[in-house]
Structure 1
């Protein structure tokens, strides 16, 4: 088999070099810095003073075709010189071209978004083909640009340090939120190791793989219906704690692990970690689990990107979050700690779901570390966040549907205590 320069991906199948993408990176500095500062000031300063860490974090990625490396042929940073000139030298030193975008209005609005759109459109017609465009901005005005790139068969990655609109996220091939940036710029070695793309792959023996398979099979057999993927994965992790770090025995993830090693079961992808079920039992005895989200909840989760957890999982999440937030000052560690705290519960919660909720709460002015709310108080603020995201996305809900969403998030939490 012969590989040309344009077919670098075939080398990976032969044990050669990893597939490589030529990428173009566009950073709206003001948008990213201000968004990160709202989330975590230390991360904002780390981003501004050492942008090379962002490049290192993005140097490798993964998509449906497997792992790949990025080569950034374009590194452009758009910066307001009146507010952030002190950070120019750091980006120049990291190999960026810095484009001055001064404020054009009394409210401080610059033309960075316009400059980025023009430069991206120019790059589309360049003699060099860019496989991927990476836009660092939470500004939903880039949605039409991302749609145009998709029509030209280019991969897109949106990095948002702020509260990005669900519709904007939907037109991107991949997204990276503020919490992942917090972890990427963290000096906490454990938090760094918890990033999926930076985990050192460990190996598992055939016996360990068999034990994990048996644990998942037993967990599904003990259920009357479908089992949350996080719960099935937790059963395997209790048997083989390092199986996730092995890339699920080299299969690439929990879903592929189930599909390849448990062919009698079915794995269905969802926004909350997936579901595992036995099709033969599911067909004859559909699950009557009261926690299974109904059509309204599924629609809300699909439009707002809110985690489609069960009511029981939300109760476990907020109970764990209320405990962890009292003792964990590092924002990037909260998701990891809550996941570990809930791993042995009857409704374990994925770290990504915790991070999504925490990010939403922080941007809503309810930082769990400082707001002083108990589990129900945090859940009530999250309910308000979900309603806001529905409004932001243009999803109209009736009073009855709002009540259903409220029950979904709050029903398994104890009622608020009334003052004596």
Structure 2
């Protein structure tokens, strides 16, 4: 297969400072061994095929720094300049971008100018990889798209929807951390082959497993959503395997001791009935707005607290590693009958870190602190994106997220 002629423009300050808030150990590995993750990025998370790097540029503020996450180290600051030799040795052209104002350096401007200049080069670059989560890069991506170039964003945080929507591919911080650690980039679920119809037996096995593993009543809407995601279009094409509806399909399984209400099913021998008055309908309008504009995971109200609790348990018992944390929490939640994707858990973990309660903190944050930090981050991002929320709507969002 012919390799794609690619150019990589990396805003080191933006990516490194974003990663170190989420997983300091892997952020240091990213900065000290760029050659390793660059080799993996050559063939991983591609758009049109494996890449051939014709341009490798790293834009770095030589005087930039972040607080040293190792509180016992002699140096309280990690200066970016100490990582410069590693990028030079990996074949990058390192471009100094000193700070122009109190808070801003010239990296983004230099990256834009260099990328646009590259469009006029005699060699046609087919893919532009932009290492930055800065939405100021959106006009650049629009310009590259107009020139019929493929674009990939490597974002260290939850980038603005308008920014990521323009790119052909988004490499999330979780995927980047997996690349840095040499792990296979994980997917939340295996893709469904539309040519292979799903059988009733597969439906029965999945529901039976969820029902047996559940530690409490299962929300019917969430269960139906999860099964559609796992089983694909066959469930609707066959009208739930000839049963004419989801609940009728569940009833046909004759699960032991099963009880149904309007919104739940549960095992009468093992579970307490669902509490009266629990909100099980669709998310309130402000939450739906944040899901649409900030990519807030579309989870039901009762799914948020178990996520916080599982992350708190991981942080209390393990040396923190982001990719391990999301995988561990997903598996723990699945064992409780709560089906949440790793990407949703990673979204919470990132929000918690940027909200002021990173899981690597000592002492580790508890579930209440994680919930509060995550909600604070969501609302802070909403304000930054000019999403107007009244005091009542803000309280409604906090309540839905389990942080009231």
Task: Point out where structure 1 has 5 or more consecutive residues left out of the alignment.
Answer: 1-16, 234-253, 267-275, 416-420
Q: Does 1:258 align with 2:232?
A: yes
Offset of residue 158 of structure 1: 1.6
- Which residue of the partner structure matches residue 138 of structure 1? 133
Q: Does 1:385 align with 2:377?
A: yes
Closer, same or farther: CA 355–265 of 1 in aligned 2, 3 Å? farther
Q: Does 1:348 align with 2:339?
A: yes
Closer, same or farther: CA 181–99 of 1 in aligned 2, 3 Å? same
- Which residue of the partner structure matches residue 406 of structure 1? 398
Superposition pairs of residues 47-196 of structure 1, within 5 angstroms? 47-61=30-44, 68-82=49-63, 84-105=80-101, 107=102, 109-162=104-157, 164-186=159-181, 192-193=183-184, 195-196=186-187
Give 3-state SS (helix, strand or coil) of 1:410's partner. coil
Which gives a bigger RCO, structure 1 or 2 (Cα 8 Å, sep 6+)? 2
Offset of residue 209 of structure 1: 8.5
1:150-190, CA deviations, whole angstroms, 9 ceiling, x for partnerless residues? 33333222212245344433333332333333333237xxx
Offset of residue 146 of structure 1: 1.6
Closer, same or farther: CA 80–339 of 1 in aligned 2, 3 Å? same
Does the 8 A contact of 1:161 with 1:177 survive in 2? yes
Q: Does 1:394 align with 2:375?
A: no
Does the 8 A contact of 2:59 with 2:97 survive in 1? yes
Distance in 1 separating the partners of 2:244 and 2:32: 56
Does the 8 A contact of 2:354 with 2:377 survive in 1? no
Does the 8 A contact of 2:58 with 2:92 survive in 1? yes
Offset of residue 303 of structure 1: 0.9
Give 3-state SS (helix, strand or coil) of 2:28's partner. helix
Offset of residue 342 of structure 1: 0.8
TM-score normalised by the chain length of structure 1 = 0.71
Does the 8 A contact of 1:179 with 1:359 survive in 2? no
Among 295, 298, 311, which residue is 1:305 paired with?
295
Offset of residue 395 of structure 1: 0.7
Deviates more, 1:34-43 or 1:304-313: 34-43
1:344-368, CA deviations, whole angstroms, 9 ceiling, x for partnerless residues? 2232211111111111111221113
Does the 8 A contact of 2:21 with 2:358 survive in 1? no
Distance in 2 separating the partners of 1:40 and 1:195: 17
Give 3-state SS (helix, strand or coil) of 1:78's partner. strand
- Which residue of the partner structure matches residue 334 of structure 1? 325
- Which residue of the partner structure matches residue 245 of structure 2? 281
Does the 8 A contact of 1:328 with 1:369 survive in 2? no
Does the 8 A contact of 1:258 with 1:265 survive in 2? no
1:288-328, CA deviations, whole angstroms, 9 ceiling, x for partnerless residues? 64153243322111111221111122122112112111112
Distance in 2 separating the partners of 1:220 and 1:182: 30
Distance in 1 separating the partners of 2:52 and 2:199: 35
Distance in 2 separating the partners of 1:100 and 1:377: 39
Q: Does 1:375 align with 2:358?
A: no
Closer, same or farther: CA 85–404 of 1 in aligned 2, 3 Å? closer
Give 3-state SS (helix, strand or coil) of 2:309's partner. helix
Distance in 2 separating the partners of 1:177 and 1:317: 20
Task: Point out where structure 2 has 5 or more consecutive residues left out of the alignment.
Answer: 64-78, 212-217, 249-260, 264-279
